[in-house]
Amino acid sequence: MSTLKRKRWSRRYGDWFRNVLIDAGIMDYRYPIKGCGVWMPYGFKIRKNVLQILRDLLDSTGHNETLFPLMIPETSLAKESAHVKSFEEECFWVTRGGLTPLKVKYALRPTSETVIAPMLKLWIRSHADLPIKLYQIVSIFRYETKATRPLIRTREVASFKEAHTTHATLEDAEAQVKEAVEVYKRFFDELGVPYTISRRPDWDKFAGAVYTLSFDMICPDGRTLQIGTVHNLGQNFSKAFDITYETEKGTQEHVWQTSYGISGRAIAALLSVHGDDHGVVLPPKIAPIQVVVIPIPYKKKDKQINRACEGVITTLKEADLRVELDPRTDLRPGSKFYYWELRGIPIRIEVGPKDVENNEATLVRRDTLEKQTCKINELVAAVQKLLKKITRDLRQRAWEWIEDRVYRVDSLEEAKQLLSKRAGIVEVLWCNRAECGRQLEEAVGARVLGVPVGTEEKVGGKCVVCGRKADHVVRAAIAY
Ligand code: ZN
C-alpha cells in the first residue's frame, strides 16, 4: 500500500478494526455482556491456526498442556500479597451457590499462578521432579471498567495461553525466561508480527513477579499494544504456598518459578499489522483458505471455464493446499473479489475465457493485489512460490513499519511532540530511577514501556529528566 493510503487508513484504524471483525466473520462482540465476544466460524479457524503454532512451539520445547479449574478460592488468591492487591478489584467473584451464600467466595481466574501453586505443593517432592513446564489455553476474566475493545481490552479473555514453570534453582528459572522469550519471538515471527521487547519498570511489572519482560507492537494509529509477557516469579509464590523440594544434599528448598502469557491480542496484532482498506490480510500459514478459485463466466464458454476451475482445485488439493472454489452464480466476479479480499485469502485464482484458451490461470496476491498469469501445468510450483513470497513480504513490510516508528530523542520536549502526534515509540536516556521514570511519564503524557531487552547497547549520556549519568535507554509510548 502507498504511504499516503496507509496513512489515511491508519487514522480510522479503530473503526476499521471493529468493523472488519464482524464484516469478515471473525468475531461478533455484540453479546449482552460488555467485553465478551463470540468467535465466529471463520474467526475460530484463524484462532485455531494461530494457537496451533503456539502449541507446536511449546510442545517441542518440553512444555505439557494441562487444564486447571476456573475458580480460585479467595484464600488461595490472597496468599501472595502483591498479587491479591493487584487483582482483587479486577476479579469477578462467585459469592453464591444457588441461593446459598458461599463461606469462601471464588474468583474467576484472572491468571492461574494461585490455581496451580497448591497442586505443585502436592506434586513436588524432590529435585528429580523438576523442572515442571505446564501450559493451558483457557478463558481468563477481568472486570475491566475502562472502555472495552474487542480482542484488546475484554472482560473475558477467551484465548489466554498461560505457561507456568517450576525449577530447582534461580539459574534454571533465568534460563527458562530466555527460552520463553525465544519461543515468543518465533511465534510472532510466524505471524509476521513485529515487536519490541522491554523490561517493564518495577512499578508496572506483574504483581508477584521479580521482573517482567514484555513484547509490544505498534498499532496503525501509533499506540502500542502489549502482546506477550514473560515473568520471573522468583520464590514469591513458592514461599507464599510453601512449595519445597528435597535437594541432592537432602535439604529442603523453595522452588523457583516463571510464568508467561499470550492472549487474543496476538490475533488483534496479526489482523492490525497486515490489514488494509480492503480488509484483513492473512499470512498463508494462518489463512483457513489459502487460495480461492473464481470462475469468470463468459457466454458459451462456461462449461470449459468450470471444468478448468475444477482441474485447478484438484491439482492444488493434491499439493496439500487449502483451496476453495467460489461457484456462486448470483454474484458477479467483482463482488466475489471484494468478499474474499475482506477475508484476507492470500491468493485468488481467476479462470476466464482467455485463460482457458491459453491453458493458463490468473493469480492475484491479496497483499499487493498484483496480478500474474501462469501455465496450468506450472500452477502448483507458482502458487507455493507466491505463498512463500507473501509470507516473507508481509513480515518484512510489518518490520519496516515498526522500525520507522521508533525514535531516539534527546529531550523531553521532542519526546512529547512525537507522542502527541501518536508517532510510535520514543527512546530517551534514563538514570534508571523510578522517580525519573514517573516524571517522564507525566511530562510526555505516555507510559514507560521499559528498558530494551536483547540489545546489549552501552550508552553514555545524561538522564533526560534529572541530568544525572544514564546507562540505559528507556522506551515510552501511548499504550492501549
Ligand atoms: Zn534521572
- Measured between alpha carbons, how far is 479 from 262 in angstroms, rounded to an integer? 17
Burial class (CB in 10 A: 0-12, 13-18, 19+), 143: middle
CA of 418 to the centre of ligand 1 (A): 21
Rounded CA gap, 5 and 230, in Å? Answer: 36
- CA 80 from centroid of its chain's CA atoms: 28
451 C-alpha vs ligand 1 centroid, how far in Å? Answer: 14
Distance of CA 425 to the CA centre of its chain: 18
The pLDDT of residue 459 is 81
CA dihedral of 447, 448, 454, 457, whole degrees rounded to 10: 130
How many angstroms is it from 204 CA to the middle of ligand 1? 18
CA of 410 to the centre of ligand 1 (A): 13
* Helix, strand, or coil (residue 446): coil
- State in Å: Cα 427 to ligand 1 middle: 14
Q: For the residues 230-244, what does the mean pLDDT come to?
A: 97
Give per-residue pLDDT as tens, 449-459: 999 998 767 78
Determine the Cα–Cα distance for residues 257 and 113; give it in Å rounded to an integer.
10
Q: How many residues does the chain have?
A: 480
> 201 alpha carbon to ligand 1 midpoint, in Å?
14
**Arithmetic mean of pLDDT over the chain:** 95
How confident is the model at residue 471, as a pLDDT?
85
DSSP 200: -
For the segment 146-167, the average pLDDT, to the nearest whole number, is 94
DSSP secondary structure code for residue 109 in this structure: P
Instruction: Enumerate residues 6+ apart whose C-beta is below 8 A from 263.
Output: 157, 159, 160, 161
What's the CA-to-centroid distance between 473 and ligand 1, angstroms?
Answer: 11
Ligand 1: centre distance to CA 429 (Å): 8
- What separation in Å is there between the alpha carbon of 448 and the centre of ligand 1? 13
Residue 5 pLDDT level (bands cut at 50, 70, 90): low
Terminal CA-to-CA distance of the chain, rounded, Å?
25
CA distance 458 to 473: 9
Four-point Cα dihedral 12, 216, 27, 273, nearest 10: 50
> Residue 131, preceding bond cis, omega within 30 degrees?
yes
Least confident of 70-74, 193-197, 453-457: 453-457
How much distance in Å is there from the Cα of 229 to the middle of ligand 1?
Answer: 26
| Cα 476 to averaged position of ligand 1 atoms, centre (Å) | 15
Q: Structure pTM? A: 0.95
Q: How far is the CA of 173 from the centre of ligand 1 (A)?
A: 31
How much distance in Å is there from the Cα of 458 to the middle of ligand 1?
A: 17
Q: How many A from CA of 211 to the centre of ligand 1?
A: 20
- Residues near 296 by Cβ (< 8 Å), separated by ≥ 6? 305, 333, 350, 351, 352, 353, 355
Long-range contacts of 37-43 (CB under 8 A, 24+ apart): 37/150, 37/151, 37/154, 37/156, 37/158, 39/158, 42/288, 42/343
Amino acid in the structure at residue 150: P
Instruction: Give the pLDDT of residue 2.
Output: 46
Question: What is d(CA 468, CA 202) in angstroms, rounded to the nearest whole number?
Answer: 20
- The rounded Å distance from CA 439 to ligand 1 centre is 9
Q: Cite the beta strand spans of 381-433 per DSSP E.
A: 406-408, 425-430
Q: Give the integer Cα–Cα distance in Å for 147 and 132.
A: 38
CA of 466 to the centre of ligand 1 (A): 4
From ligand 1's centre to the CA of 464, what distance in Å? 7
- Is it the case that residue 89 has pLDDT exceeding 80? yes
Identify any residues that bridge with 477 across adjacent strands, giving them in sequence order: 425, 447
Closest to 346 in 3D by CA, of 299, 384, 291, 392: 291
**Rounded distance from Cα 469 to ligand 1 centre (Å):** 8
Q: For 141-145, what is the mean pLDDT?
A: 93
pLDDT at residue 90 greater than cutoff 70? yes
Which amino acid belongs to residue 35? Answer: G
Distance 426 CA to ligand 1 centre (A): 16
Residue 298's Cα: distance from chain center in Å?
Answer: 44
Other beta carbons less than 10 A from residue 51's beta carbon: 16
The CA 446 to ligand 1 mean position distance, Å, reads: 17
Q: How far away, in angstroms, is 434 Cα from ligand 1 center?
A: 8
- pLDDT category of residue 9 using cuts at 50, 70 and 90: low
Cβ(19)–Cβ(275) below 8 Å: no
The CA 221 to ligand 1 mean position distance, Å, reads 30
Say which residue the cell 476456573 belongs to: 70
Distance 222 CA to ligand 1 centre (A): 26
- pLDDT of 11 reads 67
Contact 449, 410 (CB under 8 A): no
CA of 207 to the centre of ligand 1 (A): 25
452 CB contacts (<8 Å, ≥6 apart)?
196, 197, 198, 199, 427, 473, 475
Indicate whether 426 pLDDT > 50: yes
Distance CA 440, CA 215 (A): 21
Count of CB atoms within 10 A of residue 138's CB?
19
**Chain segment 334-374, per-residue pLDDT in tens:** 999 999 999 999 999 999 999 999 999 999 999 999 999 99
Taking residues 51-70, what's their average pLDDT? Answer: 98
Q: How far is the CA of 433 from the centre of ligand 1 (A)?
A: 6
pLDDT at residue 14 is higher than 80? yes
> pLDDT band at 1, cuts 50/70/90?
very low
Residue 51 — very low, low, confident or very high, per pLDDT cuts 50/70/90? very high
CA distance 72 to 78: 10
Ligand 1 center to 428 CA (angstroms):
11
Per-residue pLDDT, 203:
93
Give the distance (Å) from ligand 1 centre to CA of residue 455: 21
Place of cell 513480504: 393
